[in-house]
Amino acid sequence: MNGKGVNRKRSLVVFLVLLVLGLLTLMGYYLLYLPYLEAVNTSTQRSMRLMDTVVDVRVDGRHSERLVAEAFATMEGLEKTLSRFMEESEIAAINRGAGQWVQVSPITLEVIELGLKMADLTGGIFDITIGAVLDLWGFGSGYYRVPSEEELAEALATVDYSKVEINREQGLVRIPEGTVLDLGGIAKGYIVDAGTALLREAKVERSIINAGGDISTIGRRPDNMPWRVGVQDPQKPSEIRWILPLDGLSVVTSGDYQRYFMHNDERYHHIIDPRDGYPAKGLRSVTIVGKDSVTSDTLSTAVFVLGWEDGRALVESLPDIEAIIVSDTGTWVSPGLADQVTKQ
């Protein structure tokens, strides 16, 4: 082979080597480097309707888009398990099988047990067997009306959390005939906590989940300051009355302005006192700040029903719980929160 042939062969080999290296570099860019760039320092925020409210999720950090989708999938799956208004849910199955033992998942068992624990803590003021009374008022169905005293007395006879039976070993639950289990006062907090737990396990840089007033956070804002959460003015719900700094904590607000109907110029809201079957009176809103949403969720309801004096006493008796309690005549901010709240 002459010199020209050898040079051509060498040039071809060099060309092929460079071509292969170029292709490998291109493939590496698209298959490895681009996904890496997309996973680093991204921020994703989405909204979705769940639990009869709009849920917002924001995640900052690696794989934020995927993690937001996974958080929504987790919360949606739990709603399908815990909402009594979904026919395929386990709570609906328990209500249909009232009087009989019903098989449930460990998750449903856990939430029911949490509800019973909170009922004990509040002396029955928080009661997960309140469903029949809520149905009389139309909360859930949307067909609002003021029930008669006879109807209330009949429904109240079915309300007693102590009669809920649990067989933990076999995963069974039984409620008395006529009783309607309703986890509305606890499930949303539990579901928000589950979404936050998924994000915390993924070690996200920061996140915030807002489920219609049930708010849970991880980390701090991009400026390294605590998240700032607005609390509505119950007199003018379209306005913010207080700003709370939230640093890895949860906040939940219950108010008489959130779900209600008017009848003969009187407001009837959805926070029912299990002692008499009527909407609780005396307070306009209760905001609870705590380590998790499920505890804050149940306590916001219980404190609202307990009222000004007993509600404050309950808050002050519990560690790591702070509150803002608003009545028609005044506002109480718990001592541990007083120097952190900014009034608008």
CA distance 156 to 83: 21
Does residue 35 carry a pLDDT above 70? no
27-41, 119-133, 192-206, 279-293, range with the lowest pLDDT: 27-41
**What's 61's DSSP letter?**
E
CA trace torsion 95, 278, 110, 289 (10° rounding): 150
Q: What is the pTM assigned to this prediction? A: 0.86
Of the candidates 344, 340, 144, 155, which has an alpha carbon nearest to the alpha carbon of residue 232?
A: 344
What's the mean pLDDT in 209-227? 93
Does residue 181 carry a pLDDT above 60? yes
Q: How far apart are the first and last CA of the chain?
A: 91
Confidence label for 11 from pLDDT (cuts 50, 70 and 90): low
CA distance 22 to 25: 5
Long-range contacts of 35-39 (CB under 8 A, 24+ apart): 39/63
Token pair, residue 200, equals 């915390």
The number of beta carbons lying within 10 Å of the beta carbon of residue 113 is: 14
Which amino acid belongs to residue 250? S
* Average pLDDT in the chain: 90
- Give the domains, in start order, of the chain with CATH numbers: 42-80+204-343 (3.10.520.10), 84-174 (1.10.3980.10)
Q: What distances in angstroms separate CA 203 from CA 16, 34, 39, 40, 63, one per listed residue?
A: 44, 21, 13, 13, 11
CA trace torsion 287, 292, 294, 297 (10° rounding): 0
Which amino acid belongs to residue 221? R
17-33 residue pLDDT tens: 555 555 655 565 455 55
What's the mean pLDDT in 310-326? 97
**What's 161's DSSP letter?**
G
289-308 residue pLDDT tens: 999 999 999 999 999 999 99
What's the mean pLDDT in 70-81? 98
The pLDDT, as a whole number, for residue 141 is: 83
What's the mean pLDDT in 192-213? 95
120-156 residue pLDDT tens: 999 999 999 999 999 999 998 889 999 999 999 999 9
The number of beta carbons lying within 10 Å of the beta carbon of residue 208 is: 21
Residues contacting residue 121 through CB under 8 Å, at least 6 positions apart: 302
Does residue 172 carry a pLDDT above 60? yes
